[in-house]
Chains A and B, each alone.
Chain A
Amino acid sequence: MEGFLPVAHAVGWSIASAPFVAWGIRSVNRRIRANPEQRMLLGVAAAFTFVLSALKLPSVTGSCSHPTGTGLGAILFGPAAMAPIGAVVLLFQALLLAHGGLTTLGANIFSMAVVGPFAAWGVFRLAQALKLPFALGIFLAASLADLLTYVTTSVQLALAFPDPVGGFTASFLKFAGIFAVAQVPLAISEGLLTVVIFNALARFNPQELRDMRVLGTPEAKA
């Protein structure tokens, strides 16, 4: 989508994303300095985003899109940590794959690496407060983060290109028809895959998850 956001929007979304990336870098640095053993797990969160955002999957709308993989890292390391990680993934795709773009980087960071992770983190904490089963909380957090990322993309495009007749709303519905609807089965897939990886982590690294206050008590394991 390189060059498809008007200059003012491209600059505006970059300015909106920058503080989150800076906050994320600070929070990741502090975390790793205090708990150097979590470095590997941070790598796993980044690798998961790398894999999932490379998988272009077919959807019921007859088009292809890809999941985001940001829910895992947001649940493990807090929402801010995913902003710099998502930015790296988006930069890789923009520079080498001509997917996304440098001019749309700010907007894409905002939707995928800010809105998505914050949604995942909020939903997961809410699910815990409501005492929902652990796996259900993970599933809801990861899939809603994925879906809301593409709802945000639709909002961004509708703001840049309001419909000449129906304005923002009509345009938003059209873009959401392309992005958000196609994303529904992909968001479910992402939720399921995130549960699979959490099952593995809970099985082999329960102490680390407990240290990170993701797994509360031993019996909270789902």
Chain B
Amino acid sequence: MKKRQNLLLLAAVALLAVLPLWLVDKPAPDAVDADGKPVELFGGADNQARDLIGRIAPDYKPWFEPLLEPASEEIASLLFALQAALGAGFIGYYLGVSVTRERLKREFERHNQPADGGTGVHAD
């Protein structure tokens, strides 16, 4: 039951990520935005905000540059993938440990229950 619920939830997440790719109309190849630049589909919301700042305050100059910038988009996606992999790896390790601990506990209880008459070990 719970397993099915998790599968349904994960399917919903996948659907939510894929649907926009279908739903959003592709801009015409020669379409330009307010600044006369070609329209980029599925760019970062940050870039849109940066453009908006440029329209609201045309005289504003950013006063600081990133200290290190990934050498290219490819390198940036490498680092993002690394970030996600480290996090997912740790979560997977923890869940694996928990599953094993739970199973060993249950086996331990099964083996001990008949012997000690249920006094020493109790299930919680």
**B45: min CB distance to chain A, Å:** 4
Partner of B98, one of A97, A171, A205: A205
The reply to whether B64 and A102 form a contact with Cβ atoms under 8 Å apart is yes
B114 touches A (CB below 8 Å): no
B74 touches A (CB below 8 Å): no
CB 8 Å contact bits of A56-69 with B (1 = contact, 0 = none): 11111111110000
List the A side residues contacting B13 at CB < 8 Å: 189, 192-193
The reply to whether A196 and B6 form a contact with Cβ atoms under 8 Å apart is yes
B2 touches A (CB below 8 Å): yes
Closest residue on chain B to residue A182 by CB atoms: B45
List the B side residues contacting A51 at CB < 8 Å: 83-84, 87-88, 91
Q: How many A-B residue pairs have CB under 8 A?
A: 172
Closest residue on chain A to residue B49 by CB atoms: A178
Partner of A54, one of B69, B84, B95: B84
List the A side residues contacting B56 at CB < 8 Å: 161-164, 171, 174
A203 touches B (CB below 8 Å): yes
**Main DSSP-derived SS at the A contact region:** helix
List the A side residues contacting B24 at CB < 8 Å: 58, 60-62
B50 touches A (CB below 8 Å): yes
The reply to whether B45 and A185 form a contact with Cβ atoms under 8 Å apart is no
A199 touches B (CB below 8 Å): yes
- Residue count of chain A within 8 Å CB distance of chain B: 68
The reply to whether B95 and A204 form a contact with Cβ atoms under 8 Å apart is yes
Asked, given contacts A58-B17, A199-B2, whether A4 binds B53 with beta carbons under 8 Å apart, the answer is: yes
Asked, given contacts A161-B53, A179-B45, whether A203 binds B2 with beta carbons under 8 Å apart, the answer is: yes
The reply to whether B42 and A200 form a contact with Cβ atoms under 8 Å apart is no
The reply to whether A97 and B80 form a contact with Cβ atoms under 8 Å apart is yes
List the B side residues contacting A179 at CB < 8 Å: 45, 49
The reply to whether B99 and A204 form a contact with Cβ atoms under 8 Å apart is yes
The reply to whether B86 and A50 form a contact with Cβ atoms under 8 Å apart is yes
The reply to whether A64 and B98 form a contact with Cβ atoms under 8 Å apart is no
List the A side residues contacting B44 at CB < 8 Å: 56, 63-65
Closest residue on chain A to residue B103 by CB atoms: A204
Partner of A47, one of B41, B80, B86: B86
B48 touches A (CB below 8 Å): yes
Asked, given contacts A50-B84, A185-B16, A189-B13, whether A2 binds B98 with beta carbons under 8 Å apart, the answer is: no
B residues engaging A (CB < 8 A)?
A: 2, 5-6, 9-10, 12-13, 16-17, 19-21, 23-24, 41-50, 52-53, 56-57, 60, 62-70, 76, 79-81, 83-84, 86-91, 94-95, 97-99, 101-102, 124
A residues engaging B (CB < 8 A)?
A: 1-4, 6-7, 40-41, 43-44, 46-65, 92-99, 101-103, 157, 161-164, 171, 174-175, 178-179, 182, 185-186, 188-189, 192-193, 195-197, 199-201, 203-205, 207
